[in-house]
Chains A and B, each alone.
Chain A
Amino acid sequence: MIAPVLSVQRLSVRIGAARILDDVSLAVPAGGTLGVVGESGCGKSTLLRAILGILPRGAEVPGGAVLFGGRDILADGGASARGRIGFVPQDPYLSLNPVFRAGDQILEIMRRHAPGTRRDHRARLVELFRAVQLPEPEAALAKYPHQFSGGQRQRLLIAAALCCDPALLVADEPTTALDVTTQREILALLQGLAAARGLALLFVTHDFGVLASLCESVTVLYAGRVAESGPTRDVLDDPRHPYTRMLLACHPDRATALAGIPGTVPAATAQPDGCRFHPRCPLARGDCALDVPQPVLHRGRVIACPYHAEALPEVALA
């Protein structure tokens, strides 16, 4: 087992009465790719913020740690991670200030976090623009954000994420706003960059297709807890947690695509006791409402359900 570059250990986060994350653990091995999937309200964005060391004001961390390079990011307010974790945001249109040149905005990040002179930075940035395959990398330095297409902006943001030579790239649904052909190019680019630079990737997504093509392993979140995690292929081919099974059954590539999951994701302020999925789960029984399911190891996977070996009733997938 390679030492993880990032490891989140039994992290819990609360904001007021809302229990956003509860006992979440995951690890990204050096050079590895991990996908985090889950629906709205599962705590994805709070997890991202914790990893980037930018938890919102008022967030409490009753327990757990986010270890990056052996140091706890939460303990020093993200200072040790700054510049060492590159972040690719979701919306390329909202993430650049339209009144400044795109190049200058990235150079400003480098001025603050990367060693070297402005001249070095410019040279490095042109190199990066070339690496992310922006057309005319020298000329791109002088352009404003609106002069780039959506796909090119996402390339710019990837260059920005790489500008301080990070060990880990964290991407928050970086292709949701893009067309499929552009999405394919961006995913290929991320994959190529990660391989060439030995980068580890943490990919937050709700698209299982993207996950399948990009990530070696996956962590499925539900209502602030890990439902299931393991190698992507295994999880997609044979999901074990009832939530993962029912969620995957909703994928339009599956014949059961219109099945759905009864009920809705609970609000973070009204999480049910015991297993958080039990009110919606066809396998639920008395103790599910009482005890928090302990994660079980099953063929290289961690599954937070003691009944994962049972078959789902047919009606649940109809």
Chain B
Amino acid sequence: MPEILGARELVVALGGGRRGLLGRRTAAVRAVDGVSLSIAEGETFGIVGESGCGKTTLARTLLGLQREATGEILLDGRRASGRAPPAARRDRAAVQYVHQDPGAALDPWWRVGATMDEGLRIHGVRDAGQRAARIAEMLEAVGLDAAMAVRYPHELSGGQQRRIGLARILLLRPRVVILDEPTAGLDLSVQAAVLRLLRDLRGRFGLTYVFISHDLSVVRRVCDRIAVMYLGRIVEEGSAEQVFAAPRHPYTRALLAAAPHLDGRASTAPPLTGDPPSLRAVPPGCRFHPRCALARAECAVTPPPTDTVAAGHAVACHRWRETVDAPEKVPA
């Protein structure tokens, strides 16, 4: 499948500049620092990492809500970056974003139908009848009754809010949908229904998903390929099978080991030590080295290059060759 959305050496600086007339000048932090990725049409691309790793900033930059400092974003192989937010957002209108908390992403004073209608209006659908027809069709597609349109957001359940959040975005006919923690806070049975809906919609509308999540079990279940982020960088990337069955980066391995599993087996890997990462104090060399059990002197000095482990499987670690020992077995 051809690449639909790509990033080359993307760097995003947050903050910086002065706040207010007499404010102090604050230092910028590089929330995303040299990220390259290539998302193929029709796939579900997972981005995992812990809070503060830069996954949300990366998503906002891909969308065009945040301006990149350097690097490029490609849409259908064409450069679609370099402009400031409102224009950049228009350049990349084929990419849309579904918020983590879809209830809070709806204006509490607007009926959900009006919110959906507004999106179509903004996107230039002038004919009211056409808008109504498309809304009715989309409500049906996400498995909601057309009568839902007259409800207020707080009258919907968590699962219904998520469906509305999706419907509202899909109305705009995107090709790439960035899903930010689409199952966070959902009960298991509702989560199952939402995941099934996402799968069905992907087939029905020919969508490509960027799936941001910290729930590794879910990511494993639904993603085709996965990128693991740590402190603004991608440390490992590969197919879901490669990353879960044979993780090579020590951070990926620690992350997988920490995730609780149904079989309740105690993890054999030692827990991570050291402070959680902070963008305000990025370590030199490999960013993970202060917490890495395999770290050597070299790791504190030289940033690791991105090596290819196998076709489609890349890792940024000086010592990845030493992590071949049997990875933890993950039940299929």
- Is A232 a contact of B264 with CB atoms below 8 Å? yes
- Is B50 a contact of A212 with CB atoms below 8 Å? no
- Is B261 a contact of A149 with CB atoms below 8 Å? no
- Is B189 a contact of A188 with CB atoms below 8 Å? no
- Is B192 a contact of A259 with CB atoms below 8 Å? yes
Separation in Å of the A208 CB from the closest CB of chain B? 6
Stretch of A66-74, A123-131, A243-251 on the interface side = A243-251
Per-residue 0/1 for A247-269: is the Cβ within 8 Å of any B Cβ (1 yes, 0 no)? 11011111101111100100000
The interface residues of chain A lying within 8 Å CB-to-CB of B196 are: 258-260
The interface residues of chain B lying within 8 Å CB-to-CB of A117 are: none
Tell me the chain B residues, 165-219 only, with Cβ under 8 Å from chain A.
185, 187-193, 195-196, 199, 214-218
Separation in Å of the A316 CB from the closest CB of chain B? 12
Name A253's contact: one of B157, B192, B255, B262 (CB within 8 Å): B262
A39 CB within 8 Å of chain B = yes
Q: How far is the CA of A150 from the CA of B214 in the complex (A)?
A: 16
The residue in chain B whose Cβ has the minimal distance to the Cβ of A207 is: B260
- Is B188 a contact of A39 with CB atoms below 8 Å? yes
- Is A260 a contact of B189 with CB atoms below 8 Å? yes
Separation in Å of the B96 CB from the closest CB of chain A? 23
Per-residue 0/1 for A159-198: is the Cβ within 8 Å of any B Cβ (1 yes, 0 no)? 0000000000000000010011111110110000000000
The residue in chain B whose Cβ has the minimal distance to the Cβ of A253 is: B262
The interface residues of chain B lying within 8 Å CB-to-CB of A232 are: 264
B272 CB within 8 Å of chain A = yes
Separation in Å of the B202 CB from the closest CB of chain A? 12
Q: How far is the CA of A187 from the CA of B258 in the complex (A)?
A: 10
Separation in Å of the B240 CB from the closest CB of chain A? 12
A147 CB within 8 Å of chain B = no
A14 CB within 8 Å of chain B = no
The residue in chain B whose Cβ has the minimal distance to the Cβ of A206 is: B187
Q: How far is the CA of A257 from the CA of B190 in the complex (A)?
A: 11
Q: How far is the CA of A266 from the CA of B119 in the complex (A)?
A: 33
Q: How far is the CA of A257 from the CA of B196 in the complex (A)?
A: 9
B20 CB within 8 Å of chain A = no
- Is A251 a contact of B214 with CB atoms below 8 Å? no
Q: How far is the CA of A288 from the CA of B238 in the complex (A)?
A: 49
Tell me the chain A residues, 275-311 only, with Cβ under 8 Å from chain B.
none
- Is A250 a contact of B260 with CB atoms below 8 Å? no
- Is A250 a contact of B215 with CB atoms below 8 Å? no
Whether A180 contacts B188 in the complex (CB less than 8 A), given A212-B261, A258-B195, comes out as no
Q: How far is the CA of A24 from the CA of B276 in the complex (A)?
A: 41
Name A260's contact: one of B158, B193, B272, B332 (CB within 8 Å): B193
A29 CB within 8 Å of chain B = no
- Is A253 a contact of B331 with CB atoms below 8 Å? yes
Per-residue 0/1 for B31-66: is the Cβ within 8 Å of any A Cβ (1 yes, 0 no)? 000000000000000000011000000000000000
Separation in Å of the A282 CB from the closest CB of chain B? 14
The interface residues of chain B lying within 8 Å CB-to-CB of A176 are: 185
- Is B260 a contact of A212 with CB atoms below 8 Å? yes
- Is B217 a contact of A181 with CB atoms below 8 Å? no
Separation in Å of the A94 CB from the closest CB of chain B? 15
- Is B220 a contact of A252 with CB atoms below 8 Å? yes
A151 CB within 8 Å of chain B = yes
Q: How far is the CA of A39 from the CA of B192 in the complex (A)?
A: 13
- Is B254 a contact of A181 with CB atoms below 8 Å? yes
The residue in chain A whose Cβ has the minimal distance to the Cβ of B196 is: A258
- Is A184 a contact of B264 with CB atoms below 8 Å? no
Name A185's contact: one of B192, B217, B271 (CB within 8 Å): B271
Name A254's contact: one of B262, B266, B276 (CB within 8 Å): B262
The interface residues of chain A lying within 8 Å CB-to-CB of B19 are: none
The interface residues of chain B lying within 8 Å CB-to-CB of A40 are: 158, 187
- Is B272 a contact of A213 with CB atoms below 8 Å? no
Q: How far is the CA of A208 from the CA of B217 in the complex (A)?
A: 12
Name A182's contact: one of B259, B263, B276 (CB within 8 Å): B276
Q: How far is the CA of A183 from the CA of B215 in the complex (A)?
A: 12
The interface residues of chain B lying within 8 Å CB-to-CB of A248 are: 262
The interface residues of chain A lying within 8 Å CB-to-CB of B263 are: 212, 236, 253
The interface residues of chain B lying within 8 Å CB-to-CB of A101 are: none
The residue in chain B whose Cβ has the minimal distance to the Cβ of A184 is: B258
Q: How far is the CA of A271 from the CA of B193 in the complex (A)?
A: 22
- Is B192 a contact of A258 with CB atoms below 8 Å? yes
- Is A250 a contact of B266 with CB atoms below 8 Å? no
- Is A184 a contact of B50 with CB atoms below 8 Å? no
A59 CB within 8 Å of chain B = no
A10 CB within 8 Å of chain B = no
The residue in chain B whose Cβ has the minimal distance to the Cβ of A208 is: B262
- Is B267 a contact of A184 with CB atoms below 8 Å? yes
- Is A209 a contact of B261 with CB atoms below 8 Å? yes
The residue in chain B whose Cβ has the minimal distance to the Cβ of A187 is: B260
A122 CB within 8 Å of chain B = no
- Is A252 a contact of B189 with CB atoms below 8 Å? no
Name B259's contact: one of A180, A208, A258, A260 (CB within 8 Å): A180
Q: How far is the CA of A209 from the CA of B158 in the complex (A)?
A: 22
- Is B216 a contact of A251 with CB atoms below 8 Å? no
Residues of A within 8 A of B (CB): 39-40, 149-151, 176, 179-185, 187-188, 206-210, 212-213, 232-233, 236, 246-248, 250-255, 257-261, 264
* Top 6 A-B residue pairs of the complex, sorted by shortest distance between their CB atoms: A209-B260, A212-B264, A39-B187, A252-B217, A250-B192, A179-B50
Name 11 A/B residue pairs within 8 A (Cβ), A-sorted.
A39-B187, A39-B188, A39-B190, A149-B276, A150-B51, A180-B50, A181-B276, A236-B264, A250-B188, A254-B262, A260-B192
Residues of B within 8 A of A (CB): 50-51, 157-158, 185, 187-193, 195-196, 199, 214-218, 220-221, 254-255, 257-264, 266-267, 271-272, 276, 331-332
